[in-house]
């Protein structure tokens, strides 16, 4: 046992697979990087890191367990998160349709098409993502020995492991998105199709999260 962590190797392996699963967090960060550049992509990633840290803290203090015991609270978070993702998806689809219809005009205006704060938007996506809540309830907390004298240290180490692999993955998506942006600037309709695809995926994530359960 390592600082109250019952099986660190299994946790690391599980974390890698879970981080690699496509989800609204990673998709949003890549979308921001492809449309607005590396710096804005990392601002979005910062929102994801902060949101995940909050969820880890809730898990460590037992607040996440209260969600499991209170289905009404979980349902509220679930549907609010699903609605928000669907709203983002619809916005991306509208932008894609406009760009497809007027590729030359919108190509010039593209840098101004989204002035929202990537950090705050990514933070909302992270906090309202039942996938993350389910992860920290059903997986994250199981690797801490309740008899260990300093459980806060165990949670800190596990949290750092999650954030390390998340940072690696999001960095790859950010630089990949920036490369795609250079291609999209030369091919406006290709950019419109990609934006529409991202929007459709966000709507799909919304429907998927709306059907999530704690069981």
Evaluate whether 202 touches 24 at the Cβ level (below 8 Å).
yes
Contact 203, 27 (CB under 8 A): no
> 213 exposed, middle or buried (CB, 10 Å; 0-12, 13-18, 19+)?
exposed
Six-digit token string for 112:
């101004």
Residue in 103, 129, 110 with CA at minimum distance from that of residue 48: 129
Q: What does the alpha-carbon distance between residue 19 and residue 167 come to, in Å, rounded to a whole number? A: 10
Angle, CA 41 vertex, CA 35 and CA 47 arms, to 5°? 130
Domain boundaries of the chain, sorted by first residue: 28-210
Q: Determine phi and psi for 150, rounding to 5 degrees.
A: -130, 70
The pLDDT tens digits along the chain (215 residues) read 778 888 888 888 877 877 776 677 888 888 888 778 889 899 999 999 999 888 888 777 775 566 667 767 667 766 776 777 688 778 778 877 776 776 554 443 333 345 678 999 899 888 877 666 666 666 666 677 767 787 778 888 888 898 999 999 899 888 887 776 666 555 666 666 766 776 787 687 677 667 755 55
DSSP three-state, residue 23: coil
Nearest to 97 by CA among 212, 193, 168: 193
As a whole number of angstroms, the distance between CA 67 and CA 73 comes to: 6
- Sorted by sequence, the CB contacts under 8 Å of residue 40 that are 6+ apart come out as 32, 33, 118
**CA 206, CA 186: separation in Å to the nearest integer?**
31
pTM of the predicted model over 0.75: no
Strand partners, 144: 5
CA distance 171 to 12: 19
């Amino acid at each position: 046992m390592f600082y109250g962590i019952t099986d660190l190797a299994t946790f690391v392996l599980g974390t890698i697979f879970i981080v690699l699963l496509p989800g609204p967090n990673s998709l949003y960060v890549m979308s921001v990087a492809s449309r607005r550049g590396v710096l804005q992509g990392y601002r979005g990633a910062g929102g994801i890191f902060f949101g995940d840290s909050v969820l880890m803290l809730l898990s460590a203090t037992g607040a996440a367990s209260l969600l499991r015991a209170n289905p009404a609270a979980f349902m509220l978070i679930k549907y609010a998160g699903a609605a928000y993702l669907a709203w983002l998806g619809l916005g991306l689809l509208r932008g894609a349709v406009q760009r497809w219809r007027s590729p030359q005009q919108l190509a010039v205006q593209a840098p101004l098409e989204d002035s929202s704060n990537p950090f705050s938007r990514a933070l909302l996506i992270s906090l309202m993502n039942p996938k993350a809540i389910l992860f920290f309830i059903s997986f994250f907390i199981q690797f801490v020995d309740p008899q260990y004298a300093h459980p806060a240290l165990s949670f800190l180490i596990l949290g750092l492991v999650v954030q390390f692999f998340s940072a690696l993955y999001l960095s790859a998506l950010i630089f990949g998105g920036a490369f795609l942006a250079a291609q999209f600037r030369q091919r406006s309709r290709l950019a419109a199709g990609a934006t529409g695809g991202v929007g459709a995926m966000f709507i799909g994530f919304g429907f998927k999260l709306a059907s999530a359960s704690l069981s």
